[in-house]
Chain A
Amino acid sequence: MPSQRQVVRYPLWLTAGIGSVVLLCVFTAFQSYRTADADARAYHDPYMINAQPERLRDAITYLPANAELGYLSDISFEVANGSAAYFGVMYALAPRLVTRSADSHEWVVGNFSRPLDYAAAGAAHRLEVVRDFGNGIVLFRRRRQ
């Protein structure tokens, strides 16, 4: 270990090299920051997940907290919008479980992208409309045998 009387210096190439690496890293991070910020602004809640709790607020009052529900929609799960709509409803209704089938549970939540004959859509799965909330959300219940 050098004593107090010794002077410690570092080669210029090392100091300059490390300085350059640091500056380039800061530059890269700044670019990443700009990209992340631009992406977040361009894709602000792209699947409208934040809007779903408000959209489903009235429907929730009909459903027990530990209910298992079915799901009926006019958008296929195979397209991204359909999956996003489903997960939006599922996330807003959780801890209730929303399965992808409209045929296996007593209660079924309908999530529609446009007005249509909801009664007919439900009847195809032996469901009757309990309430149409007027915002594309419809609550169905299975018909008694």
Chain B
Amino acid sequence: MSIVSLVIASLIGYCGVRLWLPADAGRSRWKQALHAALGIGLGMGLTGCLYWLLVVGNIGALPVMLGVELVMLAALGALVLRQRSIAAPDSNTATAPSFPYLLPGVGLAIMVGLFITAFAGVVELNPQGGWDAFSIWNLRARFLLHTATWKFAVTPFPVGAHMEYPLLLSSVVARGWTYGGSPSPSVPIATAFVFAVGLVLLLVSTLALARGASAGLLAGVILLASPAFMTQAPSEYADVPLAFFFLAALALITQGRTSRCLSLAGVFAGFAAWTKNEGALVVVALAAALIVSAWRSTGWRSATRQGGIFLLGALPGLLLVLWFKVALAPPDPLAGQMTVGLGQKFFDGGRWLKVAGGFLKQAWEVHLLPLALLAVTCGLLRLRPRQERSPVPLPAVLLVLGGYFAIFLVTKDDLDWLFATALDRLYMHAWPALVLAVFLQLRRPEDFALVSTPAKAKKAR
């Protein structure tokens, strides 16, 4: 039954995406894949929020939740079927000659196979996940299993389980356990797996649509070359889901600056904020990059409109976070400690050097090869003309990384401890988005095509 919970969530999300995004006639396989990937995230996010609200509202029993979700699925499904029947058939079947994508395709298949094998091996030996899984995310999911105990997930007692962290992932896991009837390890494992595979599918399909199949597949190969991806996905932490929501918001912004895409991007950004504290920084970075880019290209009026639509989409998630932080959760120790000696830390040159050194060392030790391969790809494909480059993703990624850098500057926690325990996970949030951002700046392999007319054809003429 717990797997059924994931299927229902994904179907609700898929139908939601199909209805939310423009109903264009051209439905390529990559567009279906993109909708499926976005649907996984939308469904997980929506049903996770719904579960949380039902539990807090003292009506979080399985019959109520199942009833609400099935009604929602039936209604959305009917609307999708109606939309399909009135949509015009795809008339644009001709395709441009593409770069042979057999090699990146086979490479991606091998790497996904390796990832699945590694994931299965790790979770078989450590089904409870990493430290934060059993001490934070899955522990709090257990509290959310009952209406009588959900308040333990935000207890002010000093239990050391970061009760001030947002609750999307814990709600998703608790929902799966409620479906299954017991807190089986299979639910957090399946959740972690679905988010990881969905992340790969999301990146590949987004770039396949925007820059061609070979670019999408190549980006997927480079994404999976990060050792952090293989170790962090089975840890059952909230970092891969956060990376997913960040990437989903960016993917939608790059799809087009329509109201539908921007509002759905905002929804995913809101989910990011409800997943981890760092998600709030993701919302700010995305909004800032979007508004500045719109302002530079089309002026203030358009920037205000685009930013407003994006933030309107994020509003439900942000309100949930605000309510949680103000009314339910214990005070965040990070917020308190940031103001202590702020000026002194900020103007301490040695601290700047130490933080920069820690960031570079971590990048060198964990991400050197994937970053080098990304750089080689940049050298091969070269930059697109400036006016064609996508202006939002790279600044958004840099703002997020800059935000993390600033937090390290002002935190009172031991920096060496943070470098050892947190930094690789923070890089994980930005890595898929960075791969997307870089590929959107590059030419397609197809742009290097050498087109010739065979002599036979010339003679016939």
Interface-located stretch among B144-152, B255-263, B422-430? B144-152
Q: How far is the CA of A15 from the CA of B121 in the complex (A)?
A: 34
Interface residue B369 (Cβ < 8 Å from any Cβ of A): yes
Min CB–CB distance B151 → chain A (angstroms): 9
Which chain A residues border B106 with CB–CB below 8 Å? 22
Q: How far is the CA of A20 from the CA of B218 in the complex (A)?
A: 11
Binary contact readout B126-157 vs A (1 if CB under 8 angstroms, 0 otherwise): 11100100110011001101101100100101
Interface residue A141 (Cβ < 8 Å from any Cβ of B): no
Which chain A residues border B138 with CB–CB below 8 Å? 91
Which residues of chain A in 86-111 are interfacial with respect to chain B, using CB atoms and an 8 Å cutoff? 86-88, 90-91, 94-101
The answer to whether B126 and A43 touch across the interface, beta carbons within 8 angstroms, is yes
The answer to whether B450 and A87 touch across the interface, beta carbons within 8 angstroms, is no
Complex: chain A residue closest to B111, CB-CB: A29
The one of B125, B134, B227, B453 in contact with A35, judged by C-beta atoms closer than 8 angstroms, is: B227
The one of A11, A20, A37, A100 in contact with B159, judged by C-beta atoms closer than 8 angstroms, is: A100
Which chain B residues border A9 with CB–CB below 8 Å? 449-450, 452
The answer to whether A87 and B135 touch across the interface, beta carbons within 8 angstroms, is yes
Interface residue B445 (Cβ < 8 Å from any Cβ of A): yes
The answer to whether A66 and B221 touch across the interface, beta carbons within 8 angstroms, is no
Interface residue B158 (Cβ < 8 Å from any Cβ of A): yes
Interface residue B115 (Cβ < 8 Å from any Cβ of A): yes
The answer to whether A91 and B139 touch across the interface, beta carbons within 8 angstroms, is yes
Complex: chain B residue closest to A45, CB-CB: B126
Interface residue B327 (Cβ < 8 Å from any Cβ of A): no
The one of B131, B134, B370, B445 in contact with A28, judged by C-beta atoms closer than 8 angstroms, is: B370
Interface residue B350 (Cβ < 8 Å from any Cβ of A): no
Q: How far is the CA of A126 from the CA of B160 in the complex (A)?
A: 24
The answer to whether A99 and B107 touch across the interface, beta carbons within 8 angstroms, is no
Interface residue B448 (Cβ < 8 Å from any Cβ of A): yes
Min CB–CB distance A111 → chain B (angstroms): 14
Q: How far is the CA of A33 from the CA of B234 in the complex (A)?
A: 12
Known: A32-B230, A33-B117, A37-B118. A98 touches B159 (CB 8 A): yes
Which residues of chain B in 191-221 are interfacial with respect to chain A, using CB atoms and an 8 Å cutoff? 214, 218, 221
Interface of B is mostly: helix
Binary contact readout B162-205 vs A (1 if CB under 8 angstroms, 0 otherwise): 00000000000000000000010000000000000000000000
Interface residue A14 (Cβ < 8 Å from any Cβ of B): yes
Min CB–CB distance A131 → chain B (angstroms): 24
Known: A5-B457, A33-B114, A91-B142. A22 touches B127 (CB 8 A): no
Interface residue A23 (Cβ < 8 Å from any Cβ of B): yes
Q: How far is the CA of A24 from the CA of B226 in the complex (A)?
A: 12
The one of B146, B149, B231 in contact with A32, judged by C-beta atoms closer than 8 angstroms, is: B231
Binary contact readout B56-99 vs A (1 if CB under 8 angstroms, 0 otherwise): 00000000000000000000000000000000000000101101
The answer to whether A47 and B131 touch across the interface, beta carbons within 8 angstroms, is yes
Complex: chain A residue closest to B217, CB-CB: A22
Which residues of chain A in 3-48 are interfacial with respect to chain B, using CB atoms and an 8 Å cutoff? 5-11, 13-15, 17-26, 28-33, 35-37, 39-41, 43-45, 47
Q: How far is the CA of A1 from the CA of B446 in the complex (A)?
A: 12
Q: How far is the CA of A45 from the CA of B133 in the complex (A)?
A: 13
Min CB–CB distance B46 → chain A (angstroms): 24
The one of B104, B230, B380, B445 in contact with A33, judged by C-beta atoms closer than 8 angstroms, is: B230
Min CB–CB distance B53 → chain A (angstroms): 19
The one of B94, B107, B229, B448 in contact with A22, judged by C-beta atoms closer than 8 angstroms, is: B107
Binary contact readout B98-125 vs A (1 if CB under 8 angstroms, 0 otherwise): 0110011011001100110110011001
Complex: chain B residue closest to A86, CB-CB: B160
Which residues of chain B in 431-453 are interfacial with respect to chain A, using CB atoms and an 8 Å cutoff? 445, 448-453
The answer to whether A95 and B145 touch across the interface, beta carbons within 8 angstroms, is yes
The one of A7, A8, A47, A66 in contact with B148, judged by C-beta atoms closer than 8 angstroms, is: A66
Which chain A residues border B373 with CB–CB below 8 Å? 21, 24-25, 28
* 9 tightest A-B CB contacts, nearest first: A94-B142, A22-B107, A95-B149, A32-B227, A25-B225, A97-B152, A8-B97, A17-B380, A87-B135
Given contacts A17-B376, A33-B117, A66-B146, 8 further A-B contacts (CB under 8 A): A28-B370, A29-B224, A32-B118, A33-B115, A36-B122, A44-B126, A87-B135, A94-B152
Would you give 7 A-B contacts (Cβ < 8 Å), ordered by A?
A: A2-B97, A18-B218, A25-B225, A36-B227, A47-B134, A86-B160, A90-B139
